[in-house]
Amino acid sequence: MLYTIIKALHIIFMVSYFAGIFYLVRIFVYYKDTDAFSEDKKTILREQYTFMARRLWNIITVPAGIIMTICGLIMIFLNSGLMKMPWFHLKLTFLIGLAIYHYWCWKKVKHLAKINGKTLETANLKLRQANEIATFILFLVVFTVILKSQVIEYWWQLITGFFVLVFLIMMTVKLVNKKGKDKK
């Protein structure tokens, strides 16, 4: 029963964490979108986006990430057999990717505060594409956890499907970004 409760908490805080990460990178995109605005509007919005990013990071994303991680570690402690499962090793590999992405987000939050309303140097399209990285990681982790040993057995079909999905999402982002520029 304890394991199931911890697992439920792990999932709840995983959802909260990803919601924070998804919205955080969206705030970076919105910040970058202000480049074309008048100085007054740009100043006000950039100050607001910087404030929102910092609050989202400190109040939702990091606490949810910590609780998610603690629950995950407790689950490993309660079920040490997980560490012998190949699919679980794959999940941990994807979580290393998530940790790297988390670090990148943290550096961007710090950078926004540091530049004090100045222009964010990262290209808009790069930020929009970076916004999809958490989605890819979420897909990889969820499919790995749900399919377990089938992920190992059917790895090449899943990798192919994943790359097709990545390609479609990236092309959609480019298309949406292009249409947005055409409207201006």
For residue 10, say whether it is annotated as part of any ligand binding site: yes
Give me the amino acid identity at 176.
Answer: V
DSSP 8-class letter at 131: T
Which helix H or strand E contains 69, and what residues bound it?
helix 62-78
**32, 24, 22: which is closest to 51 by C-alpha?**
24
* CA nearest neighbour of 139 among 162, 160, 119: 162
Read off the amino acid at residue 146.
I
Q: Is 110 annotated as a binding residue?
A: no
Q: Which residues are annotated as a binding site for heme?
A: 10, 91
Q: Which residues are annotated as a binding site?
A: 10, 91
